[in-house]
Structure 1
Amino acid sequence: MAGITYGVTEAQNRSMRGVVAIGGSAGGVEAFTRVAAGLPADLPYAVLMALHLPAQSPSVLAQIIDRAGPMPAEAATDGARLQAGRIYVAVPGHHLMTYDHRIVLSSGPSENGHRPALNALFRSVAVAFGPDAVGVLMSGVLDDGVLGLAAIRSRGGTTLCQSPDDALFAAMPRNALRADVVDAAVSAAEVGAFLAELADSTRDRRAPSHDERLELENRIAMSERLADGSDVEKLGPPSGFTCPDCNGSLQMVTEGYFRCHVGHAWTADALLSARDQETRSALMVAVRSLQEKSRLAHRLADGAVSAAVRVRYTALATETDKALEVLKDWLANAETETGVAGTDD
């Protein structure tokens, strides 16, 4: 990556077999602690862990992971050299990535509305470590991380996911299994044993493929938040859709995967979820507007100076109340179907 001149000697990296990238979302803290408890202290991998975190909130995830098992864990710092037998935990507001055996904390464009994003992490280790990269997708909703696992496999690496029946939220690992980008599904407690066995094995490696789009997307994620639109245009044709983050046009990278000119990335499921969020927000504004209209119409009916005026405002109040009930019922049903009871940034 331009501007980074880190160098690592052969002796420094001799004990490191590769890098394990572990990502999760909802239910991820519980999954991460169980993984950490089972990681052997002498594991010959550096471990990167990323959880979807609100950008402005403090995080004690590194301390939680550090107490959970024998391998020491720390909050990731930009430029730190990766070492085997250590866990580096993502911090809020930054993609956790790697380049030249160093950590890169990037404020690049969000992906699926997240920074840190799991696809950015997995893609980064795929580009940097190829066959020596391992991706592990844990509990979560929607499908962030699935494309990243595909990137690791395309470069000859190994991919795992948490067994759906072991995850608090099974959608994320289940989507990875449906996409056929996973080599094995294991429980969180079994991840450490799998990695130890992998490190000792002489497995047949896949022949890595070369995809220039993968490297371009990796550069975009490592860039500043405003990417060069001309670079994004190289990824695919206009999709006809707009980005929920910036309202810019989205290019279709592949079927069901999009990037805007700023660089924000969206899978189809995440884009649909963002549109649902927009719809709910707009309808909540409509509910508040109808509530005020109803109160005003009732007040005007009560204070009417003539029967004709009273009839007019009473009819308007009745019509507004009916519309309000229909809208409230629709919102209640939509929240029940999607499992969303409120909004989160």
Structure 2
Amino acid sequence: MANRDIVAIGTSAGGLDALRFLVSELPKEFPAALLVVMHLSPRFTSRIDSILTQLGRMPAHFAENGEPARHGRIYLAPPDRHLIYDGRLLSLGIGSRENHSRPSIDPLFRSVAQCCAHRSIGVLMTGTMTDGSAGIHALGDCGGKTVVQDPEDAAFAEMPATALRRGNVDHVATLAAIPALLNELVREPAAVPGDVPENLQHEVEMAKTGKSTIGLMDRIGRRSVITCPECDGVMWEIEEGDTLRYRCHVGHAFSADLVNIALEDSVSRALAVALRSFEERAEIARDLEGQAERTSRPASAKMWRDRITELDAEAEVVRDAIKRINRLARPAPSSAGE
């Protein structure tokens, strides 16, 4: 009888140390393939594959398009590509960023949920923000086993804590306990394949090919009044239980929390442009005031002094607004590769 032979792992900040420990504790004869997404910058030239290979008993490498997933091997999502699995072969998706990331954790979990949830395990570990939460629940809903690192044990608690707030997770474990738990779970017999929601199939295809249409999005969710922070297009609301997320027809996807943060960033950028405009206009007015003084035009000079006062006051209002925004803003997430 087939076992649960696909282990999909997602992590972000603090993830390198977590992965180093995990692979060092797994046996060489591990009867499953490990598919791993860790947030990486496209400019981050990593030796993570070599590091994990040297530390553990299983070889690790960045996945290649079209290769099969074999037991006892670790496949890493390369920078700037989603990692997609169809039950036999791996694909490198060119779809838009999700939750500000490519690779994103959610597309991996969804693809595994679509093809083979009945013989899979999803693991979400340390990280900031909310990537992976929607995907690991899709995996669980389709019959996969789900494991979330205990937030109190995680180097960065937000990612696992967000997943746990949604409930319906099979196992919550410390990092130290996860290797033994996986050794048990991979030896369980695979379940009977279940039905896969049509929406899930569409979203996997978007992550893989980058193709979508407005008509297709109308089938997945309902149009919202919010514009996409990435491309300024219309966004659709997608309800999953008592949670809400957003996606535009180009493919950019966000949790509700990340949409809020992205909109804060948009406001900050707009205020910065406004401040620069007021300061530049005030400098031009000062030049014109000086010119009027030098050419004995007192009325014109007074007009420009009054205008400078107005522009300086308007600039100060914008500075105060920027200070208020900065006090409310959350700290930027740490890169997993730093």
TM range (shorter): 0.7 to 0.9
* C-alpha distance 107-162 of structure 1, shift in aligned 2 (>3 A): same
Query: Letter of the aligned partner of 1:260 in structure 2?
Result: C
Contact 2:110 2:200 in 1 (8 A): yes
Q: Of 109, 131, 140, which residue of structure 1 is paired with 2:96?
A: 109
Q: Which runs of 5+ in 2 are unaligned?
A: none
Percent identity between the two aligned chains: 35
When structure 1 is superposed on structure 2, of 301-310 and 35-44 the one drifting more is 301-310
Give the whole-Å Cα distance in 2 for the aligned partners of 1:234 and 1:314.
59
Aligned to 2:186, the other structure's residue is in SS state helix
1:232 partnered with 2:232? no
CA displacement 1:65-104 (0-9 Å, x = unmatched) = 3233332211111111111111100011211011132111
1:171 partnered with 2:162? no
Shift of 1:61: 2.8
Q: Of 279, 286, 289, which residue of structure 1 is paired with 2:277?
A: 289
Within 5 Å, which residues of 2 pair with 1:115-264? Answer: 115-201=102-188, 208-223=194-209, 225-254=210-239, 256-264=244-252
Query: Letter of the aligned partner of 2:270 in structure 1?
Result: A
Aligned to 1:247, the other structure's residue is in SS state coil
Aligned to 1:234, the other structure's residue is in SS state helix
CA displacement 1:223-249 (0-9 Å, x = unmatched) = 2x2324333222123223322233322
* C-alpha distance 28-311 of structure 1, shift in aligned 2 (>3 A): farther
Query: Letter of the aligned partner of 2:263 in structure 1?
Result: R
Aligned to 2:78, the other structure's residue is in SS state coil
Aligned to 1:113, the other structure's residue is in SS state coil
* C-alpha distance 190-322 of structure 1, shift in aligned 2 (>3 A): farther
Give the whole-Å Cα distance in 1 for the aligned partners of 2:46 and 2:254.
25
Aligned CA-pair RMSD: 2.8
* C-alpha distance 329-45 of structure 1, shift in aligned 2 (>3 A): farther
Shift of 1:105: 0.9
Q: Of 4, 26, 29, which residue of structure 1 is paired with 2:16?
A: 29
Give the whole-Å Cα distance in 2 for the aligned partners of 1:117 and 1:51.
8
Give the whole-Å Cα distance in 2 for the aligned partners of 1:328 and 1:35.
47
What is the TM-score normalised by the length of structure 1?
0.84
* C-alpha distance 287-142 of structure 1, shift in aligned 2 (>3 A): same
1:82 partnered with 2:69? yes
2:27 corresponds in structure 1 to 40
When structure 1 is superposed on structure 2, of 308-317 and 191-200 the one drifting more is 308-317
CA displacement 1:114-169 (0-9 Å, x = unmatched) = 22111100011111222221111122222111110111111111112222122232
Contact 1:154 1:209 in 2 (8 A): no
Query: Letter of the aligned partner of 1:75 in structure 2?
Result: F
Aligned to 1:320, the other structure's residue is in SS state helix
* C-alpha distance 327-37 of structure 1, shift in aligned 2 (>3 A): farther
Aligned to 1:165, the other structure's residue is in SS state coil
Shift of 1:173: 0.9
2:305 corresponds in structure 1 to 314
Contact 2:117 2:193 in 1 (8 A): no
Q: Of 315, 324, 328, which residue of structure 1 is paired with 2:319?
A: 328
Shift of 1:304: 4.0
Contact 1:39 1:191 in 2 (8 A): no
2:266 corresponds in structure 1 to 278
* C-alpha distance 30-333 of structure 1, shift in aligned 2 (>3 A): farther
Contact 1:298 1:313 in 2 (8 A): yes
* C-alpha distance 63-283 of structure 1, shift in aligned 2 (>3 A): farther
Shift of 1:62: 2.1
Aligned to 1:126, the other structure's residue is in SS state helix
* C-alpha distance 341-322 of structure 1, shift in aligned 2 (>3 A): farther
* C-alpha distance 339-250 of structure 1, shift in aligned 2 (>3 A): closer
* C-alpha distance 341-249 of structure 1, shift in aligned 2 (>3 A): closer
When structure 1 is superposed on structure 2, of 16-25 and 307-316 the one drifting more is 307-316
Give the whole-Å Cα distance in 1 for the aligned partners of 2:80 and 2:193.
35
Q: Which has the higher contact order (CA 8 A, sep 6+)?
A: 2
Query: Letter of the aligned partner of 1:21 in structure 2?
Result: A
Query: Letter of the aligned partner of 2:51 in structure 1?
Result: I
1:6 corresponds in structure 2 to none
